[in-house]
């Protein structure tokens, strides 16, 4: 018994044809619209490294590698996804009145195919049931704002699964039941329904069949519009994921060798500085909008969002998609809507980002949130000149005295007084002190501790002294790419003239900028974080550090742990009784200082560092170990605000020096 | 409205200050635009945007052209042209001579309003602007914290002891600007690039013999090495010591 | 010894203390004549401690006007063969001085810390360099407040100004009193600044503000207490607040994080009071007292 008969004198396939044309037509039209929108974006040549990309596609898209990082929801989704892949060909069979199965039968694949489809529906069904349970009964915090859309979609898929089984089952019934055990669930359903009146069964199979096809058609129409667009959107997104090292920002213009075009050679008349309009984004930045599933994992880990600020990384991605949808026709006609994408994001949100990359790290489909914010910052700083007042001071200070506080450049090496260090001479290593380590009282101690330890271990190193300049990181993250470029070019000149290619730094931001971003400006250096060098010396017994029993917790700096890839060296270096915070290593929660935010105002009730400080307090540790001058400041301030001054904040080098055996 | 803005290039506040044989060593000075003058540039540009006209920047300096980039940034704020008077042997501490050179240059332009910062952060004399006014026979209002212009009348507010004085005058006049008189805009990169094409004229002027009082000897105040922790038996004693030091040593109260 | 003119300023029915200080200095430099300009200033003018006082009392001189005042002063200078003109470095003095010097085509030395027949000393580079001058010829100089003590009050003979007063297009339309004791933060010579050590807003209001008023200083604050809502943002000193460079910065209960330092490191003299001997502020302070500010502040206030 099946639904393949005429209805009111019209054959079933006519109805299907009409519906198919409508649904597929709408689908193709909408997808085409979105593709055109995305193609408005600028060029980004990711059509390379095909072998690597294919492998990544298989593990990340097919294998759901990042999706299953969230065990519960992740595996539920994997079930639905894999189940879907397995069952999707069933629609061909259902649309051809069963001829597809017959065709497969000719090549002896029918049974296997039936089994796969059935298991597929089952997996999807189980996954959906779990998802519904999570969304409706458990109601996790992050989903409390979720719209009806998600629930409806889940129910719709469930409907497709159940109607599929019903149709399968009734197909097995009729005058004589003929159970096909290659469709085990179908058999189950059939056995449950075998006693129903044939007339009723006919009605049920008809209704189920058409409900099934209507739902499928409905999905085709709905997919490009809702977050279901990720079905298609994730394909280019995962395939063409970012191969640059995490956190590296790109120069204004690059030449054929992928090196930055020198400041003097930049063609300003034809250069767009950052992003203001929709089409200023690259196509890959735009495709993010349609890859997002609104899973809120980025939102969960975002320090800005969690401290009550205007920024919500998920919203930013939704903004791209929604803006595209709303202004699509204008954009495709080559016109500029009154509202720009910067207006849509809102400058307040743009400035709230600490560039910690937790969002990018958490995203299962390789969406790149941070570059959208740093690119819009570039426009706000270099074109619109609209940015927080405090940054004006920052820029002026960097320009005049090459440090963010505008303190006398000639006092840069004062911290080293009395330490008898090599200054400005070639040596095996260059200890790049950085601005905080040179000018901030608290951090000068860290520089001194590091220098003393290196000396004690007999490492041959020198410092640049007055010649050292800020590496430009604050300017770059704040969007003043022009200033950064000039600073980078100058620094590379200076550093190259020293001839030393191995660099040690106690600041993860210097570690990142000099180690990974200076390459494009002609500066290729081997850069080590001081924890890496000091730990190696400790392991090799060049530094004898005695054990101590204090309870200590380590706050992984974003630019060392998550972005820098180094989480173990600091831990081995500090020793003690290490208690981990709830969020540690690559999942470390930002201290709030990055993205030039340490120089910007923050409302008293929206403090990122207080959130992290509380987490540290919860470990019960007496000492919070840090490996970054920003973290040092932010954690100290945070603890003070919480009234927890009795807990100390110390740098890795300070802890090691304290416990150095003479 | 044609406005002349006087800009002084001053040594960076954070420069190393060394005195050798009673003379200040200025060999390694890096120069920057006097911050007080930036307010004047911004105010002038705002007037131009409202009333039309031209903003001419005038700066008196030596032949050293390391200052050119920073001066061009002032053009980027929105001024139309800059004239740098190059004088051999220029010194920043001769207000009478410098005012003469500047006012002579202003006389050659058709100026309705002269704006400049109240003082330079090098010598803090707060004299040049007012002297220029006298030499141009124009009225002057100094230390202005807010300035309005309406059909030929300037309305200025200036701080006086315990209050705020509002003064009006007709143009032409000289106004010297106080800190935070207005918010100086940060020029967009495009404006900085465009400013490279605006007229930048170097004009040689002769050194001027003047009656300026010259410095016979420079010295560094007694070094207060890293700070002194005041000791005492009790709070009262410590406070007395502190006040004495503030009065006698530091001379700040 | 030369002929000295002291230009004094009236303040209601009194003569300003700074004018008396200048008069005291002038006494050691030669034969002194005083000049007081204004309207209805006879009572005040007579109190200027000089032997002979020229009173320029005219309605047209009611408010300070550089053009008019300079014309009167230069007339007096020429008539009495004055070679040294002294006045206080007030808002009037710092403007009248240069204008007068230009009119007389003579040298000008502003805001002097030392003055005498041996010469003058004035501060350059925000006080980081001292410059000595020994000018020959006519000189106009303004003297900084409290550089010298005021002499004892006595009055000399009075002469009425009989010369001309130049016309001027300047017109004072309003003088607004913002209340004594409320000094603008960025231009104040002394800033008294409070931080978290004060523990609550009431303490700031009851301890910092009155002290500032007594000292004629502006009241400032660290970011911590602005965020806590104890004081408005206008009081904030620091990287994200105001940058100040007063003669004296008194940091009370402020730890001295680098963001705060960025706003006041240009101060000529920094004095700090904090209970924590390791507070970073002590590394940049010229004078420091480690102690309980609740004990120290009341005593400090009583000294002013």
| Candidate ranges A351-355, C214-218, C286-290; pick with highest mean pLDDT | A351-355
Cβ–Cβ under 8 Å, residues A47 and A285:
no
CB contact under 8 A, B242 and C287: yes
CA distance B1 to B110: 10
- pLDDT tens column, A149-182: 888 889 999 999 999 999 999 988 877 888 888 9
| Cα gap C163→C76, rounded to integer Å | 8
Give yes or no: residues A73 and A219 share one domain.
yes
Quickly state the pLDDT bin for C284 (edges 50, 70, 90). Answer: confident
Say whether C287 and B246 touch across the interface (CB within 8 A). yes
Distance of CA C222 to the CA centre of its chain: 25
Same domain, residue pair B119 and B226: no
Nearest Cα neighbor of B144 from A25, C91, A523 is C91
Token pair listed for B201: 């004229």
Is the same domain home to B79 and B158? yes
CA B31, distance to chain mean position in Å, is 13
**B216 domain-assigned:** no
Q: What percent of chain B clears pLDDT 70, i.e. is strictly above it?
A: 98
Same domain, A459 and A580: no
Which chain A residues contact residue C196 at CB under 8 A? 640
Interface test with A, best of B15, B184, B188, B197 (most A CBs within 10 A): B188
CB nearest to A383's CB, from B14, B32, B190 = B190
pLDDT for position B225: 58
Domain shared by B147 and B43, yes or no? yes
B12, pLDDT greater than 80: yes
Does B212 reside within a domain?
no
Asked if C91's CB is within 8 angstroms of B127's CB, the reply is no
**Pairing mode, strands C248-252 and C190-194:** parallel
Mutate to test the interface with B, among C64, C70, C101, C290 (most CBs of B within 10 A): C101
Joined together, the tokens standing for residue A424 give: 């400005």
Q: Is B189 on the interface with A (CB under 8 A)?
A: yes
Report the residue from A406, A441, A603 with minimal CB separation from C262. Answer: A406
Query: Which of B 77-116 lie inside 8 A of C, CB atoms?
Result: 93, 95-96, 99
B189 with A383: Cβ contact below 8 A: yes
- Assess whether A552 and A530 both reside in one domain: no
Residue C180 confidence (pLDDT) above 60: no
- Give contacts of C63 with chain B, Cβ < 8 Å: 165, 167
Q: Decide if A408 and B14 are in contact by the 8 Å CB cutoff.
A: yes
**In terms of CATH architecture, what is C2-160?**
3-Layer(aba) Sandwich (3.40)
Report if residue A249 sits inside a domain. Answer: no
Q: How many domains does chain A have?
A: 4
Indicate the average pLDDT of chain A: 93
Cα–Cα distance between A334 and A401 in angstroms, integer? 45
B21 and A389 Cβ atoms separated by less than 8 Å? no
Test the C interface: residue of A441, A478, A634 with most C CBs within 10 Å? A441
Query: Mind listing the pLDDT tens digit for each residue in A582-623?
Result: 999 999 999 999 999 999 988 878 899 999 999 999 999 999
- Tell me if C2-160 shares its fold with C185-302: yes
CA–CA dist C130, A33 (Å, integer): 73
**Residue A165, SS3 per DSSP:** helix
Q: Which chain C residue lies closest to A405 (C-alpha atoms)? A: C262
The Cα C73–Cα A226 span in angstroms is: 82
Q: What is the ipTM of this complex?
A: 0.91
- Let me know whether A413 and A529 are in one domain: yes
Are B118 and B24 in the same domain? yes
CB A375 within 8 A of CB A368: no
Backbone angles phi, psi at C165, to 5 degrees: -120, 125
Map tokens 């890496």 to a residue. Answer: A532
For residue A364, give the CATH number of its domain.
1.10.1060
Q: Verify that B248 and B183 share a domain, yes or no.
A: no
Q: Is the pLDDT of residue C213 over 60?
A: yes
* Residue with token string 């004549």: C33
Backbone angles phi, psi at A424, to 5 degrees: 70, 15
Are B157 and B165 contacting, i.e. CB atoms less than 8 angstroms apart?
Answer: yes
B89 pLDDT more than 70: yes
Range of the domain at A117: 6-236
With CA atoms as reference, report the closest residue to A401 among A390, A391, A412, A392: A412
Q: How do residues A306-331 score in pLDDT, each as one tens digit?
A: 999 999 999 999 999 999 999 999 99
B140 and B17 within one domain: yes
Which member of C227, C256, C262 has the closest CB to residue A405? C262
**3-state class (DSSP) for residue A376:** helix
Whole-angstrom Cα distance, residue A382 to residue C92? 43
- Same domain? For B91 and B16 the reply is yes
Residues of C in contact with A407 (CB under 8 A): 262, 265
Mark which of A522, A538, A554 sits at the end of a domain.
A538
**Neighboring chains of B (3 or more beta-carbon pairs < 8 A):** A, C
Total domains in the fold of chain B = 2
- Taking an 8 Å cut-off on Cβ atoms, the answer to whether A268 and B190 are in contact is yes
Residue A519 has pLDDT above 90, yes or no: yes
Q: Which of B126, B218, B239 sits opposite C131 (nearest CB)?
A: B218
Query: What confidence score (pLDDT) does residue C176 get?
Result: 85
Q: Where are the alpha helices (H) located in A464-607, listed in sequence order?
A: 473-477, 481-498, 508-512, 530-539, 568-574
A245-249, B115-119, B186-190: the lowest-pLDDT one: B186-190
Question: Is C240 close to A405, i.e. CB distance below 8 A?
Answer: no
Compare all CA atoms of chain A with the CA of C226 and give the residue at the minimum distance.
A604
Chain B, nearest residue to A388 by Cα: B186
Contact A280, A376 (CB under 8 A): no
Confidence check: pLDDT of C226 > 90: no
**Distance separating alpha carbons of residues A139 and A158, to the nearest angstrom:** 19
Q: What is the pLDDT of residue C181?
A: 46
For residue A394, pLDDT over 90 is answered with: yes
C52 SS3 class = strand
Residue C280 Cα, gap to closest chain A Cα (Å): 7
Residues B164 and B71 in one domain: yes
pLDDT at B246 over 60: yes
Query: Which residues from B are below 8 Å from A484, CB to CB?
Result: none
The verdict on B96 and B192 lying in the same domain is: yes
Determine which helix (DSSP H) or strand (DSSP E) holds C195, and give its type and residue range: none
Cα separation of A311 and A320, whole Å?
14
Indicate whether A592 belongs to any domain.
yes
Phi/psi for A374 (5° steps) reads -70, -30
Cα–Cα distance measured from residue A39 to residue A272, given in angstroms and rounded to the nearest whole number = 17
Same domain for B76 and B181, yes or no, is yes
Contact call for B16 and A406, based on CB within 8 A = no
Q: Are residues A556 and A483 in the same domain?
A: no
Q: Find the residue in B nearest to A403 (Cα).
A: B14
Contact across the interface for A405 and C257, Cβ inside 8 Å? no
Kindly state whether residue B235 falls inside one of the protein's structural domains.
yes
What is the SS3 assignment for B207? coil
Q: Are B253 and C190 in contact (CB under 8 A)?
A: yes
Looking at the structure, tell me whether residues A376 and A417 fall in a common domain.
no
CA nearest neighbour of B72 among B64, B84, B62, B54: B84
Q: Does residue C178 surpass a pLDDT of 70?
A: no
Per the domain annotation, does A245 fall within a domain?
A: no
Q: Is B182 on the interface with A (CB under 8 A)?
A: no
- A516 Cβ contact partners less than 8 Å away, ≥ 6 residues apart: A245, A247, A248
Contacts of C280 in chain A (CB under 8 A): 441-442
For A91-140, what is each residue's pLDDT tens digit? 999 999 889 999 999 898 999 999 999 999 999 999 999 999 988 888 88
Is A593 in the same domain as A509? no
Report, as an integer, the average pLDDT of C121-132.
87
pTM of the model as a whole = 0.86
Residue C77 C-alpha, separation from nearest chain B C-alpha, in angstroms: 17
Residue C187 has pLDDT above 80, yes or no: no
CB contact under 8 A, A393 and C239: yes
Among residues A289, A239, A367, A293, the alpha carbon closest in space to that of A34 is found at A289
Among the listed ranges A67-71, A412-416, A474-478, B154-158, which one has the minimum average pLDDT value?
A67-71
Give the pair of three-digit tokens for residue A381: 């700083």
Nearest-CB residue to B168 (from C110, C147, C173) = C173
d(C-alpha A54, C-alpha C165), whole Å: 92
Domain spans of chain C, in order of start: 2-160, 185-302
Q: Are residues B194 and B129 in the same domain?
A: yes
Res. A334: pLDDT tops 80: yes
Q: Nearest CA to CA, how far is C209 from chain A (Å)? A: 23
If contacts are CB pairs under 8 Å, which of residues 408-427 in chain A contact chain B?
408-410
| B210 within some domain | no
Separation in Å, CA of C133 to nearest CA in chain B: 5
Same domain as B139, residue B98 = yes
Name the domain boundary from A504, A538, A572: A538
CATH value at residue B53: 3.40.50.620
CATH hierarchy code of domain C185-302: 3.40.50.1220
On average, the pLDDT of chain C sits at 89
**Residue A20 to residue A14: CA distance in whole angstroms:** 10
Q: Give the tens place of pLDDT for each residue, C242-252.
A: 878 788 999 99
- The Cα of C104 is separated from the nearest Cα of chain A by a number of Å equal to 40
Give B131's pLDDT tier (boundaries 50, 70, 90): very high
Query: Among A441, A600, A601, whose Cβ lies nearest the Cβ of C258?
Result: A441
Looking at the structure, do residues A74 and A174 belong to the same domain, yes or no?
yes
Residue of A nearest to C282 (CA): A441
Has residue A645 got a pLDDT over 60?
Answer: yes
Neighbours of chain A (3+ CB pairs under 8 A): B, C
| Structural domain range at position B30 | 2-205
Which residue, of A236, A263, A293, is where some domain finishes? A236
Which residues of chain B are within 8 Å of residue A268 when distances are taken between CB atoms? 189-190, 193
C92 has a chain B CB within 8 A of its CB: yes
Closest-CA distance of chain C to residue B196, Å:
31
Under DSSP, is residue C239 helix (H, G, I), strand (E, B) or coil? coil
**Which tens digit of pLDDT belongs to each residue from B22-77?**
999 888 888 999 999 999 999 999 999 999 999 999 999 999 988 998 999 899 99
Is B211–C124 a contact, with Cβ atoms under 8 angstroms apart? no
Spatial separation of the C-alpha atoms in residues C69 and C57, rounded to whole Å = 11
Whether residues A324 and A370 share a domain: the answer is: yes
The backbone torsions φ and ψ at residue B56, rounded to the nearest 5 degrees and listed phi first, read -110, 130
User: What's the CA gap between A494 and A488, in Å, rounded?
Assistant: 10
Residue B192 in any domain: the answer is yes
């Amino acid at each position: 018994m099946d639904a393949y008969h005429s209805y009111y004198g019209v054959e079933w396939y006519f109805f299907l044809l009409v519906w198919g044309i409508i649904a597929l037509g709408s689908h193709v039209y909408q997808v085409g619209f979105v593709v055109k929108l995305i193609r408005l974006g600028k060029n980004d040549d990711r059509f390379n490294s095909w072998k690597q990309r294919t492998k990544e596609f298989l593990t990340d898209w097919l294998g759901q590698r990042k999706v299953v990082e969230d065990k519960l929801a992740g595996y539920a989704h994997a079930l639905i996804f894999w189940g879907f892949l397995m069952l999707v060909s069933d629609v061909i069979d259902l649309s051809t009145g069963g001829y597809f199965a017959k065709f497969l039968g000719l090549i002896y694949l029918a049974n296997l195919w039936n089994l796969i489809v059935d298991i597929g529906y089952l997996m999807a069904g189980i996954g959906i049931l779990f998802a519904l349970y999570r969304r409706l009964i458990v109601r996790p915090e992050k989903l409390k704002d979720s719209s009806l859309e998600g629930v409806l979609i889940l129910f719709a898929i469930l409907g497709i699964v159940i109607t599929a089984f019903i149709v399968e089952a009734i197909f097995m019934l009729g005058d004589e039941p003929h159970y096909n055990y290659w469709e085990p669930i179908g058999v189950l359903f059939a056995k449950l329904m075998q006693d129903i009146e044939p007339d009723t069964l006919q009605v049920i199979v008809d209704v189920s069949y058409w409900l099934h096809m209507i739902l499928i058609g409905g999905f085709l129409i709905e997919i490009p519009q809702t977050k279901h667009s990720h079905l298609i959107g994730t394909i280019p997104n995962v395939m063409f994921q970012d191969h640059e090292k995490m956190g590296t920002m790109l120069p204004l213009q690059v030449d054929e060798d992928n090196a930055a075009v020198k400041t003097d050679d930049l063609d300003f008349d034809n250069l767009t500085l950052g992003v203001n309009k929709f089409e200023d984004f690259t196509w890959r930045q735009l495709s993010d909008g349609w890859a997002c599933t609104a899973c809120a994992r980025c939102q969960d880990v975002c320090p800005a969002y969690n401290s009550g600020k205007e920024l919500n990384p998920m919203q930013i991605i939704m903004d791209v998609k929604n803006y595209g949808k709303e202004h699509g026709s204008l954009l495709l006609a080559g016109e500029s809507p009154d509202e720009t994408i910067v207006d849509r994001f809102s400058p307040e949100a743009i400035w709230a980002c600490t560039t910690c990359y937790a969002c990018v790290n958490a995203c299962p489909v390789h969406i790149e949130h941070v570059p959208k914010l740093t690119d819009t910052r570039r426009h706000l700083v270099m074109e619109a000149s609209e940015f927080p007042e405090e940054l004006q001071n920052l820029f002026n200070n960097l320009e005049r005295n090459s440090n963010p506080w505008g303190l006398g450049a000639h006092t840069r090496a004062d911290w080293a007084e009395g330490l008898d260090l090599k200054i400005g001479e070639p040596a095996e290593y260059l200890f790049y002190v950085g601005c905080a380590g040179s000018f901030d009282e608290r951090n000068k101690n860290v520089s001194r501790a590091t220098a003393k330890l290196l000396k004690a271990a007999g490492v041959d190193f020198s410092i640049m002294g007055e010649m050292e300049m800020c590496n430009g990181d604050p300017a770059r993250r704040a969007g003043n790419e022009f200033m950064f470029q000039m600073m980078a070019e100058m620094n590379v000149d200076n550093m190259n003239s020293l001839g030393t290619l191995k660099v040690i730094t106690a600041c993860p931001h210097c570690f990142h900028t000099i180690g990974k971003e200076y390459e494009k400006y002609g500066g290729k250096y081997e850069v080590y974080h001081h924890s890496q060098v000091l730990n190696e010396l400790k392991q090799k017994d060049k530094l004898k550090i005695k054990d101590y029993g204090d309870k200590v917790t380590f706050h992984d700096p974003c630019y060392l742990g998550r972005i820098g890839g180094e989480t173990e060296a600091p831990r081995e270096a500090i020793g003690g009784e290490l208690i981990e915070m709830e969020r540690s290593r690559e999942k470390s929660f930002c201290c709030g200082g990055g993205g030039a935010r340490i120089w910007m105002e923050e409302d008293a009730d929206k403090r990122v560092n207080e959130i992290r400080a509380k987490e540290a307090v919860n470990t019960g540790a007496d000492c919070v170990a840090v490996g970054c001058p920003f973290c040092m400041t932010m954690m100290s301030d945070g603890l003070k605000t919480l009234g927890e001054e009795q807990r100390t904040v110390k740098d890795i080098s300070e802890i090691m020096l304290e416990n150095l055996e003479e | 409205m044609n406005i002349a803005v006087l800009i002084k290039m001053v040594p960076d506040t954070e420069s190393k200050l060394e005195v050798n044989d009673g003379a200040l060593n200025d060999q390694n000075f890096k120069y920057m635009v006097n911050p007080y003058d930036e307010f004047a540039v911004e105010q002038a540009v705002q007037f131009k945007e409202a009333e039309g006209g031209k903003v001419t920047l005038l700066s008196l300096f030596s032949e050293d052209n390391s200052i050119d980039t920073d001066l061009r940034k002032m053009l980027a704020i929105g001024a139309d042209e800059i004239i740098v008077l190059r004088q051999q042997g220029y010194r920043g501490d001769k207000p009478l001579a410098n005012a003469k050179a500047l006012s002579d240059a202003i006389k050659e332009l058709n100026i309705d309003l002269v704006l400049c910062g109240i003082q330079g952060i090098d010598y803090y004399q707060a004299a040049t602007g007012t002297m220029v006014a006298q030499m141009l026979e124009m009225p002057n209002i100094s230390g202005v914290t807010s300035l309005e212009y309406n059909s030929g009348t300037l309305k200025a507010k200036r701080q006086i002891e315990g209050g705020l004085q509002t003064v009006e005058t007709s143009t032409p006049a000289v106004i010297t600007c106080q800190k935070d008189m207005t918010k100086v805009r940060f020029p967009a990169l495009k404006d900085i690039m465009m400013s490279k094409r605006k007229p930048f004229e170097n004009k040689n002027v002769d050194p001027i013999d003047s009656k300026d009082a010259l410095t016979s000897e420079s010295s560094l105040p007694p070094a207060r090495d890293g700070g002194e922790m005041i000791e005492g038996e009790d709070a009262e004693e410590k406070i007395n010591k502190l006040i004495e030091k503030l009065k006698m040593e530091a001379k700040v109260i | 010894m030369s002929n000295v003119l002291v230009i004094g300023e009236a303040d209601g029915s009194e003569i300003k203390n700074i004018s008396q200080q200048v008069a005291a200095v002038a006494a050691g430099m030669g034969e002194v004549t005083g000049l007081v300009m204004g309207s209805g200033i006879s009572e005040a003018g007579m109190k200027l401690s000089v032997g002979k006082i020229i009173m320029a009392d005219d309605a047209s001189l009611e408010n300070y006007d550089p053009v008019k005042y300079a014309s009167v002063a230069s007339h007096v200078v020429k008539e009495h063969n004055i070679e040294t003109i002294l006045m206080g470095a007030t808002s009037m003095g710092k403007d009248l001085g240069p204008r007068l010097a230009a009119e007389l085509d003579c040298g000008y030395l502003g805001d002097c810390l030392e003055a005498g027949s041996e010469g003058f000393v004035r501060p350059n580079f925000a006080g980081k360099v001292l410059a000595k001058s020994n000018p020959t010829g006519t000189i106009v100089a303004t003297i900084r407040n409290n550089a010298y003590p005021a002499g004892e009050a006595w009055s000399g003979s009075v002469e009425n100004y009989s010369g001309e007063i130049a016309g001027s297009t300047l017109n004072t339309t309003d003088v607004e009193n913002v209340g004594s004791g409320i000094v603008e933060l960025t231009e104040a010579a002394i800033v008294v600044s409070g931080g978290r050590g004060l523990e609550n807003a009431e303490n700031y209001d009851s301890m910092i503000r009155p002290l500032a008023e007594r000292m004629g200083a502006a009241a400032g604050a660290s970011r911590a207490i602005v965020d806590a809502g104890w004081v408005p943002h206008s009081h904030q000193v620091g990287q994200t607040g105001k940058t100040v460079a007063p003669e004296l910065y008194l940091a009370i209960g402020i730890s001295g994080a680098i963001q705060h330092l960025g706003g006041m490191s240009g101060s000529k003299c920094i004095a700090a009071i904090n209970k924590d001997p390791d507070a970073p502020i002590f590394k940049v302070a010229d004078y420091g007292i480690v102690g309980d500010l609740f004990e120290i502040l009341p005593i400090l206030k009583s000294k002013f």
